[in-house]
Amino acid sequence: MSGKPFGVIEGFYGDPWSEDERLRCIEVLAENGADTYVWAPKSEPRHRDRWDEPFTGAEVASFARMISHRPSVNVSIGLTPGPDADSAAVAAKLRPVVDAGCRKVTMCFDDLPVLHAGERHRTIANDVRGMLGTDVWVVPTHYAGTAGSPYLDELTDGLHPDVLVMWTGRTVVTDTVDAAETRARADVTGGRPPLLWDNVPVNDAMMSGLLHLGPYHGRDRAVIAACGGILLNPMISMTASLPMIESACAWWRGADHTAAWEASADRLALRTLASATSYPGDPHWPGDRPGREWFEKVASMPGTDDADLEPWVDAAKAGAAVCLAALDVIDAVAGGTDPSAVTRTALPLLGLSAWMRRPVRTLGSGPRNRPLFGQDGTGRFVVTAGAVQFTESLPESHVRAAMEALRARDWA
């Protein structure tokens, strides 16, 4: 893997990480054999919306601290130049960052309505590379799928061979990545292996109700040879992102990525919350009929020190309480308990509807919305059937079972 970047790109929408969180992430990357952190948070004003404003002195000083924090981790500063940007303006904006020690800059042309701008993006990338004397990576506007497009043709025709071009996989978010599709992407970008912007464990935009606390999975190890490197896009919660980041680092090294995830989740006391926010098919899903002991563990889960996670903790505990009440009803009916006592036991089941209205998703609650969108031969987005997944949550299935038990008894 020598020479191929592996690490994190802070590229999500929503509240950016603090400097302390970035420094901690860089430490974790260094400790786990990763070598790259890219600063590209969409909501940092001078990254995107006010890209043409100079970085403040405080921002440049923060970049310098990140760059020097762990010498084994390369820090790249990203910029989303607007549609009126030219090479000189971009280079001038990034010059103080380079003077602070940055040796790699990232041009983020993603999510811009400029599929006609491939040639201009190529020019900016090449010019900035020459003007600043740094490596340049590019996030193209056409960044998903395996189809070519006029935009990609213009971007890569004459693009310096050392410029890495990013790609999110078959879709914006994808459950699997294999070597064949990685090579197919290279075929439509001038033969250059793509730098995989892997949108895990990110939970921004339409995924804001979800937590992705599980292990890194679904990536063919042959992708390592076929790609130009891999960068994970994390969640708004830095702490909650660590279990998957550490699992992915182990996978990249060829170590046991499941064991690495378990160790991280246990160290951070996130193991129970991880299973409580998973879905069927996830490797950490507790099963469709977990035992009473598991629900009791979820219901008694302590709070976290991360305010970003508390809504999921509260929702998981409330949902587990509904499931426990359903199990109590089933046991009471089977045991011939007095109808009046069963009624009192059943009252918490009425909380199911309030639990289902919570904006955060736990215990398999759906629908599960994710941007499983590809891009076609024009570069325009195309939706796939996986964008909305319907599931029956554990509280729903358990309350349904309790109602069936009551129907069989039919005291009325």
Q: What is the pLDDT of residue 3?
A: 81
Residue showing tokens 């802070």: 10
How much is the pTM?
Answer: 0.96
The identity of residue 198, as a single letter, is D
Cα radius of gyration (the chain)? 24
pLDDT digits (tens, 9 = 90+) for 22-61: 999 999 999 999 999 999 999 999 999 999 999 999 999 9
**Token digits of residue 161:** 């061979």
Domains of the chain: 6-268 (3.20.20.80), 273-409 (no CATH)
Beta-sheet strands, E only, within 209-248: 229-232
CB contact set of 205 (below 8 Å; sequence gap of 6+): 13, 371
The DSSP bridge pattern shows strands 368-369 and 388-389 to be antiparallel
- pLDDT at residue 115 tops 60: yes
What pLDDT sits at residue 358? 97
Of 202, 196, 260, nearest to 223 by C-alpha is 196
- On the 0-12 / 13-18 / 19+ scale of CB atoms within 10 A, 343 is middle
Of 111, 116, 230, 113, which is closest to residue 167 (Cα–Cα)? 230
Measured in degrees and rounded to the nearest 5, phi and psi for residue 369 equal -95, 130
Q: Hey, is 201 helix, strand or coil?
A: coil
CA separation (Å) from 230 to 23, 41, 239, 404, 412? 20, 17, 20, 49, 62
Average pLDDT over residues 284-303: 97
What's the mean per-residue pLDDT of the chain?
96
Q: Taking 70 as the threshold, does the pLDDT of residue 350 lie above it?
A: yes
Percentage with pLDDT > 90 across the chain = 94
Compute the residue count for the chain.
412
Other beta carbons within 10 Å of 335: 8
387 Ramachandran zone, left/alpha/beta (phi>0; psi -120 to 50): alpha
Q: Write out pLDDT tens, residues 363-379.
A: 999 999 999 999 999 99
**pLDDT tens for each residue of 217-227:** 999 999 999 99
Phi, psi angle pair for 292, to nearest 5°: -55, -40
Quick: pLDDT tens for 141-166.
Answer: 999 999 999 999 999 999 999 999 99
Measuring CA to CA, which residue among 5, 51, 12, 22 is closest to residue 165?
5
Q: Is the dihedral of CA 159, 77, 209, 245 positive or negative?
A: positive
Backbone angles phi, psi at 39, to 5 degrees: -90, 110
| Tokens matching residue 329 | 């009803």
Number of C-beta neighbours around residue 366 at 10 A: 15
Q: How confident is the model at residue 412 (pLDDT cuts 50, 70, 90)?
A: low
Sign of the torsion formed by the C-alpha atoms of 43, 49, 54 and 56 = negative
What's CA 229's distance to the chain center, in Å? 17
Return the structure tokens found at 170. Answer: 């078959």
Helices then strands, each counted (H, E), the chain: 15, 12
pLDDT tens-digit readout, 261-292:
999 999 999 999 999 999 999 999 999 999 99
Residue 109 main-chain phi, psi, to 5 deg: -95, 15
Cα–Cα distance list, 256 to 217, 226, 277, 374 (Å): 12, 21, 23, 31
φ, ψ of residue 285 in degrees (nearest 5): -65, 135
Determine contact, residues 166/140, Cβ cutoff 8 Å.
yes
CB 266 within 8 A of CB 291: no
For residues 167-184, give the mean pLDDT: 98
Q: Are 124 and 118 in contact (CB under 8 A)?
A: no
